[in-house]
């Protein structure tokens, strides 16, 4: 929590001004019992109404001054609390943007949402209360003790004996509740996670009639949160009654000893009233301090949770001396009649050499010993069953994850040597889930290229087969897009996200199963547009073999291994895995001789490991 104080820079003067004005308010409050004592001992005792009126007006003046000081202190404390937490929130959001997929997967989005919202609100509330009360309450307590000593030093011994006992009670409860509040916030993370999962998957839940099961799970999570809150609430609830009990015992002792000293003529009645008022002030301030301690411990626990996120070092960063992507020398070799010999003479734009990937905390590798080359201007398909590693493979290219073994080169250099911004500008990926942001179609497309003209936007929409339905909307490019693009169908969202990628000038374009919601005719038009992009290297991930038949080459994955690498016709004859996928996709494979059980796969894998193209006449595949 202490490390977060660096975000207070620029607001330290206001942070000092707030308790200072509270200090002035406290002085006004401490003088009031003395005025009351003088009214009793002089004004009432002597029947001097003029004296009483003057003293009452003086009390009113102190009250107005105290109010002015309190409002000013409140203004500064609120200003500092809001600005301070705003800085932390922006810094945290910026830091989250630097984390790789690995860190985000490990932490969990539910926890991150809670720490950006609930935890930050607790910190803001804690800072506000701290600036207002942390200095004022102890000053009132100590000031009342000193003022009581000036009234009667023997009676002040009651105050001196009370304060250490109260301090022990307060700090003991604080030390107990800090870890408990941390556990409460952890349980809150789980509740938020369950709520987020249910809201995001409400259609699936209803489709499978799982509402009752999710209600039961949510009830269990909320019961756990309630149990933790009851525990910490029970401990915190001891603070007020213990404080009241101790202070009221002190008041009884004070009134009893004061009465004896008045009877003995040592004290005046006004002095006893003043001592009683000082003890009452201590009681009120200690109650405030007790509530402050509760809020402060909660804020400290939340601050520590936020700081723990700041202490996470992103695993994927631009190295020192990072180089910029330079596509020069990697000119396209794409043509309709391209031969394997022509391709083999070009330098590969992407080169996998014995690449492996293991996710954080995973028990086994997701990808193993992937070796293949992809050449400039190629239109390459990637296929495999669910969980075969298709998405994992393509996410290594823009370095969303770091490889855990082997070597991966893009444009002739190791992917880890590049500046991340430069790399991801040259490599654009359209993810599986179509994500649109609230705004307009134009604003979403401009994410790809903020300087794009309307002509470029319409050209991208044409290539993505989205121009027709956009033209049908009266607003055209300025048509509104709701959060998540929920005012469009699934296929329309996919086409808009593809168009957003087409707007860029990226030399490598990756479509990660981003045409799964498209009908056959629309997908065929999209594939034709992709095939015509001779200036770009395209990787098209799909689970349907029919979508990849026109690709220059197809990579076949199974259980994280590359088991096929070649053209559609070649793979039908040499790769059992691909043949099975093709048959399941409705492709007629009866006219193609079936490969041997092991030879086809072994031949394909051997070709993949070589990273070169072997002419089909020699029994190999590209």
Confidence of residue 333 (pLDDT cuts 50, 70, 90): low
What pLDDT is recorded for position 617?
Answer: 31
3-state secondary structure of 620: coil
What pLDDT is recorded for position 591?
Answer: 65
Structural domains in the chain plus CATH codes: 2-310 (1.20.1560.10), 342-612 (3.40.50.300)
Q: What is the pLDDT of residues 47-95, one digit of tens each?
A: 888 888 998 999 999 999 999 999 999 999 999 999 999 999 999 999 9
Distance CA 13, CA 253 (A): 43
Distance CA 159, CA 136 (A): 18
Residues 6 or more apart in contact with residue 19 via CB below 8 angstroms: 73, 131, 132, 134, 135, 136
Q: Percent of the chain having pLDDT more than 90?
A: 22
Strands across the sheet containing 367-374: 367-374, 350-357, 405-410, 413-414
Q: What is the pLDDT of residues 359-416, one digit of tens each?
A: 887 878 899 999 999 998 888 999 988 888 999 999 999 999 899 999 999 998 999 9
Res. 559: pLDDT tops 50:
yes
For residue 84, what are its two tokens?
Answer: 């301070």
The owner of tokens 């307590």 is 141
Nearest 10 degrees: CA dihedral of 398, 400, 405, 408? 0
For residue 209, what are its two tokens?
Answer: 């009639």
Confidence of residue 551 (pLDDT cuts 50, 70, 90): confident
For residue 136, what are its two tokens?
Answer: 């004022």
The owner of tokens 């001891």 is 238
What pLDDT is recorded for position 331?
Answer: 63
Q: What is the pLDDT of residues 223-238, one digit of tens each?
A: 988 888 888 888 888 8
Confidence of residue 562 (pLDDT cuts 50, 70, 90): very high
What pLDDT is recorded for position 237?
Answer: 82
Q: Please say whether the beta carbons of 479 and 518 come within 8 A.
A: no
| Residue (of 88, 68, 76, 87) closest to 24 by Cα position | 68
Q: What is the pLDDT of residues 118-137, one digit of tens each?
A: 889 989 998 998 888 888 88
Q: Give the burial class of 289: count Cβ atoms within 10 A of its Cβ; 0-12 exposed, 13-18 middle, 19 or more buried.
A: buried
Q: What is the DSSP letter of 594?
A: P
Q: What is the DSSP letter of 323?
A: B
Calculate the alpha carbon distances from 194 to 117, 198, 433 in Å.
16, 6, 21
| Residue (of 552, 527, 224) closest to 380 by Cα position | 552
Residues 6 or more apart in contact with residue 236 via CB below 8 angstroms: 173, 177, 294
| Residue (of 19, 31, 14) closest to 65 by Cα position | 31
Higher pLDDT, 43 or 336: 43
For residue 207, what are its two tokens?
Answer: 């489709």
Strand positions, DSSP E, 116-207: none
What pLDDT is recorded for position 351?
Answer: 93
Q: Give the burial class of 26: count Cβ atoms within 10 A of its Cβ; 0-12 exposed, 13-18 middle, 19 or more buried.
A: buried
Q: What is the pLDDT of residues 147-179, one digit of tens each?
A: 888 888 777 788 778 778 877 887 788 788 878
What pLDDT is recorded for position 596?
Answer: 62
Q: Please say whether the beta carbons of 557 and 388 come within 8 A.
A: yes
CA dihedral sign of residues 496, 499, 501, 503: negative
Q: Percent of the chain having pLDDT more than 70?
A: 92
Q: What is the DSSP letter of 519?
A: -
Higher pLDDT, 120 or 342: 120
Calculate the alpha carbon distances from 152 to 155, 256, 278 in Å.
5, 14, 12
Higher pLDDT, 279 or 566: 566
| Residue (of 421, 434, 397, 618) closest to 508 by Cα position | 397
Q: What is the DSSP letter of 366?
A: S
Enter the pTM of the model: 0.69
Q: What is the largest CA-CA distance in the chain?
A: 125
Q: Please say whether the beta carbons of 251 and 276 come within 8 A.
A: yes
Strands 379-384 and 553-558: parallel
Provide φ and ψ at 549, rounded to 5°.
-60, -30
Q: Please say whether the beta carbons of 108 and 282 come within 8 A.
A: no
Residues 6 or more apart in contact with residue 53 via CB below 8 angstroms: none
3-state secondary structure of 258: helix
Helices (H), ranges, 264-383: 269-310, 340-344
Confidence of residue 106 (pLDDT cuts 50, 70, 90): confident
Q: What is the pLDDT of residues 580-620, one digit of tens each?
A: 888 887 777 766 676 765 444 434 333 333 333 333 333 33
| Residue (of 391, 411, 380, 344) closest to 538 by Cα position | 380
What pLDDT is recorded for position 304?
Answer: 87
| Residue (of 475, 478, 538) closest to 502 by Cα position | 538
Q: What is the DSSP letter of 483?
A: G
Q: Quote the mean pLDDT of the chain.
A: 83
For residue 31, what are its two tokens?
Answer: 């003088």
């Amino acid at each position: 929590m202490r490390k977060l104080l660096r975000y207070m820079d620029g607001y330290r003067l206001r942070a000092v001004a707030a308790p200072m004005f509270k200090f002035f308010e406290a002085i006004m409050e401490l003088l009031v019992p003395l005025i009351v004592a003088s009214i009793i001992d002089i004004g009432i005792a002597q029947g001097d109404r003029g004296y009483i009126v003057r003293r009452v007006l003086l009390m009113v003046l102190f009250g107005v001054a105290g109010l002015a000081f309190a409002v000013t202190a409140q203004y500064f404390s609120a200003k500092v609390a809001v600005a301070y937490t705003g800085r932390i929130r922006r810094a945290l959001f910026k830091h989250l943007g630097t984390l790789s997929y690995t860190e985000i997967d490990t932490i969990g989005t539910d926890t991150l949402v809670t720490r950006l919202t609930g935890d930050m609100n607790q910190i803001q509330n804690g800072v506000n209360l701290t600036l207002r009360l942390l200095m004022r309450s102890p000053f009132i307590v100590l000031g009342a003790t000193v003022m009581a000593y000036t009234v009667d030093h023997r009676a002040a011994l009651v105050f001196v004996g009370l304060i250490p006992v109260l301090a022990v009670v307060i700090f003991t409860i604080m030390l107990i509740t800090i870890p408990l509040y941390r556990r409460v916030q952890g349980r809150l993370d789980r509740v938020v996670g369950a709520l987020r999962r249910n809201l995001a998957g409400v259609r699936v839940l209803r489709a499978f009639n799982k509402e009752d099961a999710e209600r039961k799970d949510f009830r269990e999570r909320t019961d756990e949160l309630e149990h933790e809150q009851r525990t910490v609430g029970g401990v915190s609830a001891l603070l007020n009654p213990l404080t009241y009990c101790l202070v009221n015992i002190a008041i009884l002792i004070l009134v009893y000893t004061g009465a004896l000293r008045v009877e003995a003529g040592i004290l005046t009645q006004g002095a006893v009233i003043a001592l009683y008022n000082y003890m009452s002030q201590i009681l009120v301030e200690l109650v405030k301090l007790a509530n402050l301690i509760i809020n402060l411990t909660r804020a400290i626990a939340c601050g520590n949770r936020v700081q723990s996120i700041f202490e996470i070092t992103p695993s994927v960063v631009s190295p020192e001396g990072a180089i910029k992507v330079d596509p020069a020398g990697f000119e396209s070799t794409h043509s309709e009649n391209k031969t394997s010999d022509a391709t083999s003479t070009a330098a590969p734009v992407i080169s996998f050499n014995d690449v492996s990937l293991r996710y954080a905390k995973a028990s086994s590798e997701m990808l193993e010993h992937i070796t293949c080359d992809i050449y400039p201007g190629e239109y390459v398909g990637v296929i495999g069953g669910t969980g075969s590693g298709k998405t994992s493979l393509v996410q290594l290219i823009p370095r969303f994850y770091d490889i855990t073994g082997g070597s991966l080169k893009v444009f002739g250099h190791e992917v880890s040597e590049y500046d991340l911004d430069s790399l991801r500008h040259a490599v654009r990926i359209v993810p599986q889930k179509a994500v649109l942001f609230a705004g307009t179609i134009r604003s979403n497309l401009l994410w790809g290229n903020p300087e794009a003209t309307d002509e470029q936007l319409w050209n991208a929409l044409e290539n993505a087969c989205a121009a027709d339905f956009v033209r049908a909307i009266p607003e055209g490019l300025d048509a509104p897009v709701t959060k998540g693009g929920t005012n469009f169908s699934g296929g329309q969202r996919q086409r808009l996200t593809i168009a957003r990628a087409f707007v860029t000038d990226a030399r490598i374009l990756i479509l990660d199963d981003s045409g799964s919601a498209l009908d056959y005719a629309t997908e065929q038009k999209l594939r034709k547009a992709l095939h015509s992009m001779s200036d770009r290297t395209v990787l098209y991930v799909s689970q349907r073999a029919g979508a990849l038949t026109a690709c220059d080459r197809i990579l076949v994955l199974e259980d994280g291994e590359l088991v096929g690498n070649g053209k559609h016709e070649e793979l039908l004859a040499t790769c059992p895995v691909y043949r099975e996928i093709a048959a399941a996709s409705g492709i007629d494979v009866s006219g193609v001789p079936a490969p041997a059980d092991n030879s086809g796969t072994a031949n394909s894998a051997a070709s993949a490991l070589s990273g070169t193209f072997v002419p089909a006449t020699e029994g190999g595949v590209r």
